[in-house]
Chains A and B, each alone.
Chain A
Amino acid sequence: MTITATKDDFTGTATSSANGAWNIGVPEQGTYTVELDESTLPEGIALAEGQENPRDVTFSQTSNLSVIFAFGEGIVVQQQDFGQNLLNRLVAGLSFGLLLALASVGLSLIFGTTGLTNFAHGEMVTLGAVLVFAFNALGLPFWLAILLALLGGGLFGYAQDRGLWRPLRRRGTGLVPMMIVSIGLALAVRYVIQFYFGGATQQLPYAQSPEIQLGPVSISPNNLWSLGISAVVIALIGIVLLKTRLGKATRAVADNPALAAASGIDVDSVIRIVWITGGMLASLGGILWAYYRPGVTFDMGSAILLLIFAGVTLGGLGTVFGALIGSIIVGIFVELTTVFGLAADLKYVGALFIMIVVLLFRPQGILGRRERVG
Chain B
Amino acid sequence: MSSTSAAPAAQPVTDGDSVVKVTDLVAGYLPGVNILNGCSIEARKGELIGIIGPNGAGKSTLLKAMFGLVKVHSGTVVVRGQDITGLKANKLVSRGVGFVPQTNNVFATLTIEENLQMGMFQRPKDFAERFDFVAGLFPELGKRRAQRAGSLSGGERQMVAMGRALMMDPAVLLLDEPSAGLSPVKQDETFLRVHEINRAGVSVIMVEQNARRCLQICDRAYVLDQGRDAYTGTGRELMKDPKVIQLYLGTLADTAE
Contacts and interface: CB of A to CB of B under 8 A. Distances in A.
Contact of A264 (B104, B122, B181): B122
Interface string A254-298: 111011111111110000000000000000000000000000000
A362 interface: no
A263 B115 CA distance: 9
Contact of A258 (B101, B110, B114, B181): B101
A260 B69 CA distance: 13
Interface residues of A, number: 23
Contact of B90 (A251, A256, A267): A267
A263 B93 contact: yes
B109 A264 contact: no
A264 to B, nearest CB: 3
Contacts, number: 80
A259 B107 contact: yes
Contacts of A372: 150-153
A266 B109 contact: no
A369 interface: yes
B118 A252 contact: yes
Contacts of A255: 107-110
Interface residues of B, number: 33
Nearest to B152: A372
Nearest to A265: B121
A265 to B, nearest CB: 5
A354 B51 CA distance: 54
Contacts of A261: 88-90
Contacts of A252: 107, 110, 114, 118, 121
Contacts of A170: none
Contact of A260 (B99, B118, B181): B118
B118 A369 contact: no
A36 to B, nearest CB: 57
B61 interface: no
Interface of B: 67, 69, 88-90, 93-94, 99, 101, 104-110, 114, 117-122, 124, 150-154, 164-165, 168, 181
15 contacts: A249-B118, A249-B121, A251-B114, A255-B109, A256-B107, A258-B69, A258-B101, A260-B107, A262-B67, A262-B165, A263-B119, A265-B121, A369-B150, A372-B153, A374-B181
Interface of A: 245, 248-249, 251-252, 254-256, 258-267, 319, 369, 371-372, 374
